[in-house]
Structure 1
């Protein structure tokens, strides 16, 4: 659908020459704006060149190309041409021609980038302004972005005090959109705008369980389809600046069950049919305007019908139904659609909590691989949900912005990273290169005292290598981020009163550093208290409570002395291990592919307490998971134990089955039904009364026991874990007595009652096999091997990457 527009001034047709802009702090050329529409860009250029050279650049308005000339082409651009510009140095000056004022703005920041300016992360501290009294430029380029939309935006939104810094970052890194593609959930809005019609025609709503219900439509109804098309036309009529409207379904299920809708085909076919008819009406009245829709959740599988040329499908990289891979979705939708987009998840605070390497936005290899790959697969729009968390993800988002403009920048990631380190840290570059390796999710390391301790030691080394105030301000930002990681680690691993105390310390701290943008304070404040029911906010301390009366919100910044104290205390408190933790995904699959030899069946203890998760696997749905539950073993007055079943393939991460167990100390059969294949999480929440869960022998059932999610089994238990090939040390944390047994069943280590870290060498030939914890009383957290515990080899689930690698199937 889209084509690359070339200006009349083809970049390679003329030879550029170096033009001097300033000499010895004196401007040599005026800055000339063709008209008022490009004057703001010209003023920004003048101000920034003055900061770089110290020279005052004269501003003029003229249609005559002279000096540093900023102009606009004389033809109205097509949607996909809006951001195109040329920039050429030639005798007498520099000529910048953009198709729109937005394109001229892009050219200005491109020019400044070539002059050494950088806005690596949002905020003044991360602004790099070189001091060059004598400045020249030799340039001859014609630029057009590879992705027409390059949105990197914050879920939960921005704090008001962060909005301008983040807006500037997007503008200065050309991370904006030439085409505003609307693809968000739209059915609710359509119903709201047409309330009277839906009240008059209840048959427009989906038939579910014999009743007409919101929020889905009966798409087989021609009246409904005409209403949706008319609504799209009305939106364009109301706002002539719109590039697109969304026709994406409302979130969740509830699709129509009537016979006529079934005749249309799959959910994807129905949703696309509705979008197609809206696009057909739009094209007749507003040629070139678009209709957007996600490939997401129940309508993620590719359709059997063709998409209208005016429909853009944005494929979501999460919440995929039908067992498809992202590549299969891209191929399937690309076969039916002219233009694709990507709905990405660079950071979701609920998932990653701003921790090092926990989000895609901090995984440099993921970004380097996927952005050009998606482009090659037909994607031309990117909408990436992220967070205002420049601490862990700032470098990744900067690199993403460069690649979204030009996917060939993926070949230059190492050079771009070196440029970031050189310009941001100067003489402190070496330790900071190691620091950013710790933040990179490409080889993510588990959050631990060891990780935080190494971060502190590298910052301390860097601080000793420079007295430059600008560099020190960046190191201070990262010191405050590192202190946050330590506080979050303390909070997340604490219990009881200690957890409440740690939570208060965490929240008081994060508000005081909100201006740095190192962590997404708004998301944490809004989301964390709602999910952790073990902590409480005091009166007037909610996010919505005014700052002046909020007892946990202080505007007092941290002083240099306080930050230096954080560094010293961090080094003292966070001890280093003699092994490096290894992080594994929780994308678990059966270990059967490893063909492990049989072992004597172990046991999972006598009961569990609180909220605990077990993981199981369904090969062929629909299926019924049969368990036996016994509750009230310790207390019988805390209500029923509750069991929920969460399929990982369920787009909204909702429970699909629920069961309860009376606290009567008697075994009860539980049946949990699912229609989903693959990995399932079974959550037991029982108020600390003591509950035992049993399952049939050989049924896949694994518990995770890592630093982030310790299993906390009660009684004496015996469970197996897998030691991947090449592992040299089994390392982790233990509290409570017990034994570590090698594959032959011999004692390799005896655990004392005192809590502490352990490190056990793996003899030659003992890797690639099952080891076990036996007669264990207390907690074991595995840090160098997959933290997956099971009663035997048949019940063991392991990270998919381990099984694929060691079974020879590849990644």
Structure 2
């Protein structure tokens, strides 16, 4: 308990520390006159004086009056400072600026003679200022002047009494490709105004290579310090030295102490391993234990030495890559372990890794990936930062698991992910804000778009990646149409004539048109070939550079990275990223004209037609039973054995007890064989459950290693009825072969598409009376065969989208087949279940009962 309480205890202390004095409502300004000055102490630092001036300026802008900054003891006026600044307020005992965990605490309290904005530190005072302004209606939704909202409130009143502390002690939403000249200051402003800054500066970057570089002379004198790899010790890239050697660990300790002595303002020192593999194979290192044990042992030694010489300083490492599994050794409480949500190895789930490290005493952080340009290319709904449901679920869940640090890799792409980044900043300060996401979103739409908020609600629904947007043309078409409707509404709103807020709404809409245009150009580039691909690539890059200062797409990353990964396109030497705009034919900062913006809208609407379904999707129950009573027939058996990630199979046990034997081969992708053993779980669906849940785990197995060799797994089943088998391989590929006498069905609905690799062929049932088979598919090979085996529809020449296949008389009430498909086919008007043969197909009970009569 003592080992895990170092961060948790301060919450209780701070809660008890809040003063008990009651607050009063206070009027700050009325009729163009301020009622109180902003007050700082006579000894206020330059930073506090600047913060006070900022507050006075904003209060003046909001109330249309003038606020002066004066000095005083804080008893009268708008007191801005630390508790130590104003001893007359007697608040010193309520703060502890020396406690690294409490440096961001602040008090906001209104009273008859003004307001207190009192913080533990200067940073906390700045938080208090932006919190007060937020409560008065100020917003900084995205970086940049046009995304700032400064309300007009001539009669400025407030009643507030709150003692604030962040739920996450460090909150970073940072750009993977770093800053550029135009975005650095707006980004810093956004972070400050949304209290999204690291209260504790936690260093967790890969560090071993830096330490080795610093101590290279020692390594040259002692070749035994290098890792033993394949029987040889020699310098290697991204070195993991021989940590089993105490002298090597001493070098790391010395490095850490020297860094902290040289820069005592550092809150922490990183002891995270260099990236990749290459861990020492010698006996001493093996005796230390697993890779995680070795990394932890070193971090512990460094933390122990640091805490003696520099009390309160932390050591940071990741739980990532080869050292993502929890260690078997205890973790020093001053070691902060930031668990990566991707690039994890060892076969454990993210929750298991978090729980395991916590159980060993680690103070926890999270290393997130809200947006990685290589993965999402700033496309709508593709990145985690756009998935609002993911953010509102994970931020509180990570905190509940003990995480107190958040480092989220992101991008300068506020077009697709801006709303998600903004909401994340609110939740990282106060996880209870996750319950207010809908209200916060409504506030965003109202403040940003005013009379045009309803069409913009549709626009941002298209950006939300919580649910899949399967028809790209429909998604982008709706984005363009929403922007067009918003512009028309704004133009027709007489109350919005030409005031400042209306002009900012117009500017926001124009910038979002440029973002939608980028999405359009990127799609053209993706689907072009030959010389057209080069031309489309150039048009896309030129556009992103020209719109870069909107900060809605990550121009720097796109310009530099896309060409490096696509060998079909190129950038002329004189147009590369490093060539200045004055000499670069691809770069221009010419503003987009109204005519251009209008043409982008018109073209986007014309080119991207809305989806018009000629069928109504049908919802079926998940109560599956064998379809044998339908007396269906099938021809050649189908096949679908291989797949990656988490896969689900449904089977039906007619007699129990029984043995379910499966032939399973893990590790079919050789370079992914570090993901751990194949995890198998069998659950009974329905029936009695002690926990009241629909699914009850009845058997599990973790014995199949990822080595490419087939093994038999036998699971004991004690009850009859519907069962669900889950297979998880950490992203490696696994083959599951079912015995011929055991039915197995695969679900493939709009929300749960079938997960297979390679070509697959399976049967599905078309109920009696069905007139059209509605499905989603395309973008990859495959055909639909009717009950006679006739090729009825081909996906080969069709883009991914929704399709309807007419059901001819006499072909309903029979099995059809998806044949030699290479991608998922989602069934929408027929039961979304597929099987290898008629005898194996499981179907919703209501369908079987109706069609067997």
TM category, shorter: 0.7 to 0.9
Q: Of 672, 695, 705, which aligns to 1:647? A: 672
How far apart, in 1, do the equivalents of 2:146 and 2:627 lie?
Answer: 51
Tell me which moved more, 336-345 or 8-17: 8-17
Q: What SS class does the counterpart of residue 315 from structure 2 fall into?
A: strand
Secondary structure of the structure 2 residue equivalent to 1:562: helix
Aligned residues: 708
Is 1:771 the equivalent of 2:795? no
SS at match of 2:575: coil
**314-323 or 462-471, which deviates more:** 462-471
Q: Which consecutive residues of structure 2, in runs of 5 or more, have no partner in the other structure?
A: 1-5, 85-95, 492-501, 617-625, 647-661, 677-705, 710-727, 740-745, 751-756, 838-853
* 2:602 equivalent in structure 1: 568
Q: What's the offset of the Cα at 1:767?
A: 12
1:140-539 aligned within 5 A: 140-213=161-234, 214=236, 215-446=239-470, 448-467=472-491, 468-539=502-573
In structure 2, what is the equivalent of residue 85 of structure 1?
106
Between the aligned partners of 2:627 and 2:406, the Cα distance in structure 1 is 39
Normalization by structure 1: what TM-score? 0.79
Equivalent in the alignment of 2:125? 104
In structure 1, the gaps of 5 or more residues are 583-592, 605-613, 626-643, 652-671, 683-695, 707-712, 795-811
1:13 alignment counterpart? 20
Counterpart CA distance in 2 for 1:564 and 1:99 is 51
* Shift in CA distance, 266/598, structure 1 to aligned 2, threshold 3 Å: farther
Q: How do residues 654-803 of structure 1 correspond to structure 2 at under 5 angstroms?
A: 679-680=731-732, 729-733=774-778, 740-742=784-786, 745=789, 748-749=792-793, 759-761=803-805, 771-773=817-819, 793=836
Change (3 A) 1:752 1:217: closer
SS, match of residue 443 in structure 1: coil
1:135 deviates by: 0.8
TM-score normalised by length of structure 2: 0.76
Whether contact under 8 Å (1:16, 1:89) holds in the other structure is yes
Q: Does the aligned pair in 2 maintain the 1:479–1:567 contact within 8 Å?
A: yes
8 Å CA contact 2:779, 2:795 repeated in 1: yes
Q: 2:65 maps to which residue? A: 55
Contact 2:471 2:802 in 1 (8 A): no
Can you list the C-alpha shifts for 1:460-493, whole angstroms capped at 9, x where unaligned?
Answer: 1111111422111111111111111111111112
Mapped contact 1:438–1:444 kept (Cα < 8 A): no
Equivalent residue of 2:324, what SS?
coil
Displacement after TM superposition at 1:14 (Å): 2.4
Task: Give distance in 1, aligned partners of 2:215 and 2:513.
Answer: 53
User: Please, which moves more after superposition, 719-728 or 21-30?
Assistant: 719-728
Q: What is the Cα deviation at residue 772 of structure 1?
A: 2.0
Shift of the 735–81 alpha-carbon distance from structure 1 to 2, 3 Å rule, reads closer
Deviation, 1:761, is: 5.0
Once residues 153 and 721 of structure 1 are traced to their aligned partners in structure 2, the CA distance between those partners, rounded to angstroms, is: 48
Structure whose CA Rg is larger: 2
CA distance in 2, matches of 1:599, 1:358: 40
1:600 and 2:623 aligned = no
CA distance in 1, matches of 2:225, 2:352: 33
Q: Secondary structure of 1:296's partner?
A: strand
Q: For 2:522 and 2:342, locate their aligned partners in 1 and report how far apart those are by CA, in whole Å.
A: 26
Name 1:577's counterpart in structure 2: 611
SS for the counterpart of 1:385 is strand
Q: 1:405 to 1:594 in 2, by over 3 A?
A: farther
Q: Give 1:66 shift.
A: 2.1
Q: Using a 3 Å threshold, how does the CA distance of structure 1 residues 677 and 478 change in structure 2: closer, same or farther?
A: same
**1:694-730 deviation line (CA, Å, top 9, x unaligned):** xx999xxx9x9x9xxxxxx99xx99558899999721
Deviations 1:621-643 (A, max 9, x none): 99786xxxxxxxxxxxxxxxxxx
Once the two structures are superposed, what CA deviation does each residue of 1:14-39 show, in whole Å capped at 9, x if it has no partner?
Answer: 22111111112221111112212411
Q: Distance in 2 between matches of 1:241 and 1:496?
A: 55
Distance across 2 between alignment mates of 1:769 and 1:39 = 77
Q: CA shift at 1:782, angstroms?
A: 5.8
Distance 1:71 1:768, change over 3 A: farther
What is the CA–CA distance in structure 1 between the aligned matches of 2:134 and 2:320, rounded to whole Å?
Answer: 37
Q: 1:503 to 1:724 in 2, by over 3 A?
A: farther
C-alpha contact 2:644 2:729 (8 A) present in aligned 1: no
3-state SS in 2 of match to 1:160: coil
| Distance in 2 separating the partners of 1:160 and 1:42 | 27
SS, match of residue 441 in structure 1: coil
Is 2:137 aligned against 1:130?
no
Structure 2 CA distance for aligned equivalents of residues 647 and 459 of structure 1? 44
Equivalent position SS for 2:123: helix
Aligned partners of 2:119 and 2:128 also within 8 Å: yes
**1:633 alignment partner in structure 2:** none
Give the one of 17, 20, 29 matched to 2:36. 29
Q: Does structure 2 retain, via aligned residues, the 8 Å contact 1:89–1:137?
A: yes
Separation of aligned partners in 1, 2:183 and 2:387 = 24
1:271 & 1:409 partners in 2: Cα distance?
36
- Classify 1:457/1:773 alpha carbon distance in 2 versus 1 (closer, same or farther; 3 Å): farther
**Distance of 1:229 and 1:505 partners within structure 2:** 52
Contact 1:739–1:750, Cα closer than 8 Å, also in 2: yes
Are the equivalent residues in 2 in contact too, given 1:271–1:299 (CA < 8 A)?
Answer: yes
Question: Is residue 749–residue 760 contact of structure 1 (8 Å, CA) maintained in 2?
Answer: no
Distance 1:136 1:580, change over 3 A: farther
Counterpart contact for 2:675–2:731, Cα < 8 Å: no
Instruction: Find the aligned partners of 1:728 and 1:61 in 2 and give their Cα distance.
Output: 77
1:208 touches 1:257 (CA, 8 Å); kept in 2? yes
Structure 1 residue 444: deviation in Å? Answer: 2.5
Q: Separation in 1 of the partners of 2:106 and 2:383?
A: 34
**Displacement of 1:245:** 0.2
**Which residue pairs with 2:89 in the alignment?**
none
Contact 2:663 2:738 in 1 (8 A): no
User: Please, which moves more after superposition, 508-517 or 211-220?
Assistant: 211-220
Specify the SS of the correspondent of 2:11. coil
- 2:232 & 2:665 partners in 1: Cα distance? 25
Secondary structure, counterpart of 1:464 in structure 2: helix
1:338-369 CA distance string (max 9 Å, x none): 41000000000100111111111100000000
Q: Judging changes above 3 Å, is the alpha-carbon distance between structure 1 residues 241 and 754 closer, same or farther for their aligned structure 2 residues?
A: closer
3-state SS of 1:70 partner: strand
Shift of 1:63: 3.4
> Quick one: distance in 1 between partners of 2:574 and 2:169?
44
Where does residue 689 of structure 2 map in the other structure? Answer: none
Q: Cα–Cα, structure 1 residues 722 and 428, in superposed 2: closer, same or farther, change >3 Å?
A: farther
For residues 249 and 778 of structure 2, the distance between their equivalents in structure 1, rounded to whole angstroms, comes to: 60
Shift of 1:446: 3.4
Q: CA deviation at 1:222?
A: 0.6
For the 8 Å contact 1:11–1:140, the answer to whether it is kept is no
Corresponding residue of 1:540: 574
Aligned counterparts of 2:81 and 2:329: Cα–Cα separation in 1: 45
